[in-house]
Amino acid sequence: MTSFAPAPPLDTLAPTLDPTRVRLLDLLDQRQPGRSLPGALYTDPELHDLDLRLLWHRQWFFAGTVAEVPEPGDYLTVDLGTVSVLVLRDDDEQVRAFRNVCRHRGARLVSEPRGSVGNIVCGYHRWTYATDGTLRHAPQLVPTAEGGPDPACLSLRTVAVRVVSGLVFCCLAAEPSADVDAVGEAVAPYLDAHALDRTKVAAQVDLVEQGNWKLTMENNRECYHCDGHPELLRTFFPTWGLREDQVPPRLRASHERYLAAEEDLRVACEARGLARDAVEDLVDRPLGFRVQREALDGAGESFSPDGTRLVGRLLGDLDEPRLGRATLHAQPNLWLHALADHVVTFAVLPLGPDRTLVRTTWLVDADAREGADYDVEALTGVWRATNSQDAAFVELTQAGVADPAYEPGPYSEGERQVDAFVSWYVARMREEASR
């Protein structure tokens, strides 16, 4: 027990191309525009490991919302494969993020998805860190003056964090890109009116889908399968993603209602200065995104069977319940709907090559009272049903793409954004694998 020099980092990657990377690049080259990915990219454990190392460990990803960490000491955890990230509001009310690993013998610091602490205390040997990550107390450790380690070198390892309109993004890279700031500027005109910083969590549900994370994202990028979502179709126009001339006859009536609702929405947005038109930059940037405000069917207010509002109090300073849904999609792992009465966010988190966590969070005004202003079952009903249906679709697809008979098939008109997501994935991986 003589030396306390810091250990070298163990997760550095050799710069030379290993055989798995060669295989990855070969598969990326095989991908044809307008078609899904070669099967191994959805199933192979070694390639999944490259997804984590080259993409997830280097890009900004969505971790949660400020509503999950409203007070100092409140935390949430996000796991990406074997990596665990601890997001926490410090004593100065700043949102910070740390690697969720004790600097002593490596014990996981906190295991719950959400909670609250005074200090961060390791459950094993009571090493105690302040909410800014500095080591406050380590029992029995040899003092620095006597040759022991310097506590200043034993702070928790930090993770880059950025809050954008109440959305918390994290990045594990040592030098994260500035991409998140530009995306933040683009989405603020759509989301800020929903005032996520004045919301609270009404419900959160973790669902494990038996499929690769990319299948979960692809599934979300089209309504081509929306016949499988009868609850959602009460308020969701099924012509989503189609150009005017692509709307099939059977969806024509629905589309007419959509056009009328869109016109009403345009008027309401202009009167209130709310951004509405689609802004899309899906393929070319690391944090590919698309944001837009769209009308809802029925009463047009919320995700209820008849489209009327689900929460008595509106968000922020909104004065009108019929504002459709402001939708943000961001790659690799977020989509959300911001309505006048609530926001629902979806975080996609890879657990393994064929297992993915979908964490759904419903946010309502911080002063809304459960029972009086909203009912959790009613609030969450549509998306609990829809998520469950999507999990079944993803599982069927995972089984099929793992079959050697699978060949990437052609996308239809309504799958343009799936194509964009897959093209983004190919571009990101090709670039990162060459670094």
Footprint on residues 156-215 left by a copy of itself (CB under 8 A):
157
Rounded Cα distance between 264 and 294, Å, is 11
**Strand extents, DSSP E, 274-314:** 279-281, 289-294
Of these, 70, 72, 84, 427, which contacts a copy of itself (CB under 8 A)?
Answer: 84
Give the residue carrying structure tokens 């494990």. 208
Confirm or reject binding of residue 34 to a copy of itself (CB under 8 A).
yes
C-alpha 138 chain-centroid distance: 35
Give the 3-state secondary structure of residue 349: strand
Of these, 35, 234, 384, 430, which contacts a copy of itself (CB under 8 A)?
Answer: 35
Give whichever of 57 and 194 is closer to a copy of itself, judged by the CB atom: 57
Which of these ranges, 16-24, 193-201, 220-228, 302-310, lies near a copy of itself under the rule CB under 8 A? 220-228
Give whichever of 138 and 186 is closer to a copy of itself, judged by the CB atom: 138
List the interface residues with a copy of itself, window 381-400 (CB under 8 A). Answer: 392-393, 396-397, 399-400
Strand order in the sheet with 199-209: 199-209, 355-365, 343-352, 334-338, 325-330, 289-294, 279-281
List the interface residues with a copy of itself, window 92-131 (CB under 8 A). Answer: 99-109, 111, 123-126
Give whichever of 99 and 257 is closer to a copy of itself, judged by the CB atom: 99
Give whichever of 72 and 151 is closer to a copy of itself, judged by the CB atom: 151
Confirm or reject binding of residue 379 to a copy of itself (CB under 8 A).
no
List the interface residues with a copy of itself, window 415-434 (CB under 8 A). Answer: 416, 419
Which of these ranges, 63-71, 79-87, 201-209, 301-309, lies near a copy of itself under the rule CB under 8 A? 79-87
Rounded Cα distance between 240 and 255, Å, is 9
Using CA atoms, how far residue 372 sits from 260, 310, 311, in Å, is: 33, 11, 9
The size of the interface with a copy of itself (CB under 8 A), counted in residues, is 79
The values of phi and psi at residue 249, to 5°, are -50, -40
Rounded Cα distance between 102 and 149, Å, is 15
Read off the DSSP letter of residue 51. I
List the interface residues with a copy of itself, window 39-68 (CB under 8 A). Answer: 39-40, 57
Q: Cβ atoms within 10 A of the Cβ of 174, count?
A: 8
Rounded Cα distance between 56 and 208, Å, is 18
C-alpha 109 chain-centroid distance: 23
Give whichever of 115 and 400 is closer to a copy of itself, judged by the CB atom: 400
Give whichever of 246 and 434 is closer to a copy of itself, judged by the CB atom: 246
Give whichever of 371 and 404 is closer to a copy of itself, judged by the CB atom: 404
List the interface residues with a copy of itself, window 3-22 (CB under 8 A). Answer: 3-11
Rounded Cα distance between 245 and 54, Å, is 40
List the interface residues with a copy of itself, window 242-271 (CB under 8 A). Answer: 242, 246, 248
Confirm or reject binding of residue 149 to a copy of itself (CB under 8 A).
yes
